[in-house]
Amino acid sequence: MKTLFQVFAVSGLFVAWAQAQPSSVPAPGRIGPRPEVCAHPPDYFPLEVGNLWIYQGGGSYAGKTLTLEITKTGEFNGKTYFVLSGFPEKDYWLRRDESGSVVAYDPSQAVEQTWWAFQAPLGKQYTTYLPGTCCRLALVSSRSLPYEGPIGKYDCALDILYPGVFQVGIEREVFLPNVGLAFRSQATGGPSYGSYELTYARVGGTTVGPAPEFSFALALDNSIYVVNMMPPVDPGTAAPLANVRMTLRNTAQPVTLTFPTGQTFDFVIRNEKGETVYRWSDGQAFPQIVRTEVFGPGEKNFLLQVRLNGPDKNPLPQGHYVAEGWLTTAGTRVFVASVGFEVRWVY
């Protein structure tokens, strides 16, 4: 079990907590079987330009966010397809066919293949070409699954299983009526599993999920960093690396950010006296040009690895420190967060 220490700045207030990161894939909210009572066939993956889904990772995907969005349409062979953007491999052209299945079209091969056969007979396997599946097999196990997760409670969720997964591949997906994909679990190699669960959606112009959020966060991968001072001490390796993540999250309306230079963020470490012992931007040059960026809805992460050495290139002395990160937007510093940590020496 790994602990990730986080600080969130929301509306000018800083809120800190330690969040346990599970080593195995969690269950999707609370789900379980129930009698088949949901007869009306809904749309389990609405295809409309502007639809957006934001997922939080768990298990081996802990700390990651996946954002999917329908961005545009196109015509192929007299049929309208929608571009699904956000998967790491590439964008995909999708449409809903006459049977209610979602199919993908590959313009380079002029081939259309099934991803999700939502109306397939219960328990009967069908062939799928969904990227990330290992065995090209899927089956609908339920269309009346009760689901409770970050975006609320739902009846009549659809559960798709992917048989035959050994070490790598999607194992399960849960879809919510007229919302879309709510949960995916995946074997990621050996005994490890990862998952993505829906935390926010905008479907048909309507927001699905908790109240809109606009926040900036700073996370470290530890609260105590140990310096190995056993002689001979190599300053280049004795001090540990700190993994830093700054996250800007917006589930509300798009905002315009103005930056006076090409720099987007900065990060410092201060000792107990308030002295800056590390600054990420030291020695770097940035274009001197004013720029604007429209952000949201969505999430951006800025990742750093920082060797905990001081200005003299030696390991930081034992003691307590504060890490602080911010966006270098014009005017008053608005997007800023900080978190404390400790450095200990061992001999």
pLDDT tens digits, residue range 48-59?
999 999 898 999
Identify whether the C-beta of residue 135 lies closer than 8 Å to the C-beta of residue 171.
no
**Positive/negative CA dihedral, 176, 180, 182, 184:** positive
Q: 29 pLDDT band (50/70/90 cuts)?
A: low
Contact status, residue 142 vs residue 28, Cβ threshold 8 Å: no
pLDDT at residue 25 greater than cutoff 60: no
CA distance 334 to 179: 34
How do the domains of the chain map onto residue ranges?
A: 22-210, 215-346
CATH topology identical between 22-210 and 215-346: no
Q: What is the pLDDT of residue 315?
A: 92
Matching CATH number, 215-346, of 2.40.50.100, 2.40.30.10, 2.60.40.2360, 1.20.1440.130: 2.60.40.2360
Length of the chain: 347
Could you give the C-alpha distances from 168 to 93, 132, 190, 198, in angstroms and in order? 25, 8, 8, 22
Section 270-281 average pLDDT: 96
Residue 300 pLDDT exceeds 90: no
Q: Tell me what pLDDT residue 209 has.
A: 75
Contact call for residues 321 and 309 (beta carbons, < 8 A): no
pLDDT of residue 12 exceeding 70, the answer is no
Mean pLDDT across the chain? 86
Contact assessment for residue 148 and residue 32, using Cβ atoms and an 8 Å cutoff: no
Topology of the domain comprising 22-210? YmcC-like fold (2.40.360)
